Amino acid sequence: MTSPIRLSRLHVAAAVLAGALAAATPASAQPDPETIVNAFEAVLGPVRTHRPSHPKGTCAAGHFTATPEGTRLSVAPVFSGQRNSAVIRFGVAGANPNASDTARGTRGLSIRFESPAGELFEMANISAPVFGAPTPQALVDGLLSRANDPATGRPNPERAAAYAAFVAANPSVANQGRFLAANNPPASFATTPYWGVNTFLFRGQDGQVRPARWVFEPRAGVARLTAEQMQSMGPNFLADELRGRIAAGPVEFDMVLQFPGQGDDLLNPTVAWPEDRPRTVVGRLVVTSVEAGPGGPCDPISFMILDQAPGIEMSDDPVLQARAAAYAVSLSRRTP
């Protein structure tokens, strides 16, 4: 369990990070992190006890080792070829920490890597190849179109029309919904790909900087619930299924980098790159244990350490640039 002193330090660190990142970003470029978190709370109400996104989660642990190709493509410590320990969080989308595991929506794979020398790198991935908004402003606008009536705190009767108008004005925000509608929910946390959706810059041993996106592909293969299982499976089967699976042996994912082709949009996470783009396996994530119940070492982590410069750096994708500061504000609000 994290101590009160540790939580207090996290609170201060989160507030400092949020302020520093907000100050470093031109006000005209994106809404500030307070505005982003306020927009989530306009829909969800004050979030003080759990994450506003993927609040239902299961903590796990394991390790990550880069392939020789990963070491060639990045000078970051996580790709040194040595084994990195990993704190892992599997999550279920929705505002409700008791959301059903059979609901259509994304599942999350968040990871804190720690190198043998203690360097940290964190990431948050989802089980869809695209994000739900192309810019931070679009994210805020989409949330506010679904906001509760501030006078009553209850759903606004006009919000369905407001959101439809928002989608009409921002058609790419529907890409994630189309993917989720066409693909049933995962049958296991271990049988779905998890995409990073944003573009990062990888500096290789040769000094060359290469833009890339990543996906964690399950070595067990992809398996989704059938229509019948979506009706018959209980609302909390995923964590127990993962525990049973790992009792029989580790769960493994290949980390795969995908590289863009000419004309591919590097800065819009609502648009996936074509499947025929070059890909290479750069590492193996091995999940070796799962917490026996709720809570665990992943709970106080907000997965804000998004680069290991110069080996892995954030691109100019505005959604990516806004993430760490918004995570920090959210953490500061739910950390006493």
The CA distance from 320 to 82, in Å, is: 27
Q: In this structure, which long-range contacts are made by residues 138-142, counting pairs with CB atoms below 8 Å and at least 24 apart in sequence?
A: 138/170, 138/173, 139/36, 139/39, 139/319, 140/31, 140/35, 140/36, 140/39, 141/166, 141/170, 142/166, 142/170, 142/173
Contact 78, 282 (CB under 8 A): no
From the number of C-beta atoms within 10 Å of its C-beta (0-12, 13-18, 19+), residue 89 rates as: buried
Q: Catalytic annotation on 54?
A: yes
Residue 253 phi/psi, 5-degree rounding, is: -130, 140
Q: Take residue 326 and report the two structure tokens written for it.
A: 């918004």
DSSP 148: B
The CA-atom distances, in angstroms, between 46 and each of 151, 253, 334 are: 15, 35, 9
Q: Which residues pair with 281 in a beta bridge?
A: 256
Q: Which of 11, 50, 54, 63 is catalytic?
A: 54
DSSP 174: G
Contact 71, 57 (CB under 8 A): no
Catalytic residue annotation: 54
